[in-house]
Chains A and B, each alone.
Chain A
Amino acid sequence: MDKLSELVKKAQQGEKASYGEIYNLFIKKIYRFIYYSVNEKQLAEDLTQNTFLKAWISLGNFSFGKGTFQAYLFTIARNLVIDYQRRKKELSIDENWDISSADNLEDQIEKEEEKEKVKMILDNLEDDERRLIILRYFEELEFEEIAQVLNKNSGTLRVRVHRILKKLKDKLEEK
């Protein structure tokens, strides 16, 4: 049994220290994945915390037979982002403006510098396409794991990646 499987098993038995180790292993991955969907640091941190809290609560339902633990975490993160985006759509334009204006200038400049290049690429994509590219090329998940996260067939995702790459290539060549 590998280290992660051991930690998960112990955490499932209620060992919080083991879950702490799992948290430290995945916190940056989950944060980045969420950040590039919501584009807001504080919000990304909150959703990251919620991902780990939800993952803890549902830990009894996780089984290695159903997929990897990494995919389990990304699935929860994806669902939380989708919930957030759905709720955000219900907000008025004014409220949206208020949220973005709450970021201070320094934070905004820092944010822009960090994500400039990555954002340039990801902005060309739809939400699910963006997640697919992040998971495949930046987090290097296997197609079977991504299939679990996005709830799609892995063969379908292979074809879709091919199509997205072509789309990105065309966009970049246009610029």
Chain B
Amino acid sequence: MNIEQYLKNLKKEYQKLEPSQYFIEQGWPKLKDKILETEIKKLPRLRATRAYLFLSLVLLILLSGVGVVQASQKSLPGEPLYPVKVLSEKVITKVTGNKTLEVENRAKEIIDLSKKEQEEKLKETVEKYRETILKTKKEIEERGKEEKLFKKKLKKQQEEFEKVIKETRDLKGLEKAIEVSKKGQNGKEEEDDDKKGKDEDNKDENGHQKEEESGKSEG
């Protein structure tokens, strides 16, 4: 049985279904009345927002000093400069649109805390890591972009955690971080489809491998 042909034939049956005549005739006049009362939502003034955030960053740097902001980037939870790091991270995320910065920073902190064997802080940071992954994943899915890149980053983080776990004593927090990172990536079936899908995208219409990546319009 040629299932594709079967579906193509079924298309006629599918298209026979129509809304009621009343709906066809009255749908638009009724909707028109509704949209007369509703304005098109204006796009958020992204440029203005970004400019505002950029100014905030400049102000933050001026007030606290470039050195302080820079130094804060290596700070860990519980340290005096950590709030500066979190604040600057938020501003940078908004200004640059880099959605994964927070996840990356939490992952680095998990590694550093594991090496320092600060178990309590590690536990808290893993929880923050989990929350940040969930939030970022949702944002990325909504945007429909950078999903693959995000998964790759999580995979890399998972590998780094696995490497660190061999070097340090058995820390439960680190095991949890590996689990969280794995969960942030997709289920196995979807991963398989993605891998196969990538191969499919690299083939031309005749099933041959494309020489160049040009012409692809992946989201």
The chain A residues found within 8 Å of chain B, CB to CB, are 12, 14, 16, 19-20, 23-24, 27-28, 31-32, 35-36, 41, 44-45, 48-49, 52-53, 56-61, 67, 114-115, 117-118, 121, 133-134, 137-138, 140, 144, 147-148, 151, 153-160, 163, 165, 168-169, 172-173
Cβ–Cβ contact A41 & B20, under 8 A? yes
A49 with B7: CB separation less than 8 A: no
User: When the two chains form their complex, are residues A115 and B41 in contact, meaning their CB atoms are under 8 A apart?
Assistant: no
* Residue in A closest to B147 when the chains form the complex, CB atoms: A153
A residues in contact with B10, CB < 8 Å: 117-118, 121, 137-138
B19 and A48: CB pair below 8 A? yes
Interface size class of B (residues with CB under 8 A): 35 or more
Interchain CB contact (< 8 A) of A153 among B30, B34, B38, B197: B197
Q: Which residues of B contact A172 (CB under 8 A)?
A: 1, 3, 6
Which residues of the other chain, B, contact A27 by a CB distance below 8 angstroms? 19, 24, 27-28
Stretch touching chain A among B83-91, B157-165, B188-196: B188-196
Does B212 count as interface, using CB distance less than 8 angstroms?
Answer: no
Q: How far is the CA of A153 from the CA of B190 in the complex (A)?
A: 10
Identify which of A58, A67, A159, A169 contacts B200 (C-beta below 8 A).
A159
CA distance A39 to B144 in the complex (A): 29
Contact B197–A154 (Cβ < 8 Å):
yes
Instruction: Determine the residue in chain A with the shortest Cβ distance to B16.
Output: A114
Residue pair A155, B41 in contact (C-beta under 8 Å):
no
CB contact between B196 and one of A20, A28, A59, A155 (< 8 Å): that residue: A155
Residues of A within 8 A of B199 (CB): 155
Q: Is the CB of B38 within 8 A of A56?
A: yes
Q: Are B219 and A153 in contact (CB under 8 A)?
A: yes
- Tell me whether B52 is interfacial, beta carbon within 8 Å: no
- Contact indicator A48/B8 (Cβ below 8 Å): no
Q: Is the CB of B15 within 8 A of A32?
A: yes
The answer to whether B35 touches A56, judged by C-beta atoms less than 8 angstroms apart, is yes
In the assembled complex, the Cα of A169 lies from the Cα of B141 at a distance in Å of: 32
Once A45-B19, A60-B43, A144-B217 are accepted as A-B contacts, the answer to whether A16 and B32 lie under 8 Å apart by CB is yes
Q: Is A154 a contact of B31 with CB atoms below 8 Å?
A: no
Whether B28 lies near A169 (C-beta < 8 A) is: no
Docked complex Cα distance between A137 and B35 (Å): 33
Taken together as a complex, chains A and B put the C-alpha atoms of A31 and B218 apart, in Å, by 28
Contact A60 B19 (CB under 8 A): no
B residues near A20, Cβ cutoff 8 Å: 28, 32
Q: Given A49-B27, A56-B40 in contact, is the A155-B11 Cβ separation under 8 Å?
A: no
Q: What separation, in Å, do the CA atoms of A128 and B132 have in the docked complex?
A: 27
Give every chain A residue within 8 A of B6 (Cβ-Cβ).
172
Residues in chain A near residue B197, CB distance under 8 A: 153-159
Bitwise, B148-190 to A at CB < 8 A (1) or not (0) is: 1000000000000000000000000000000000000000001
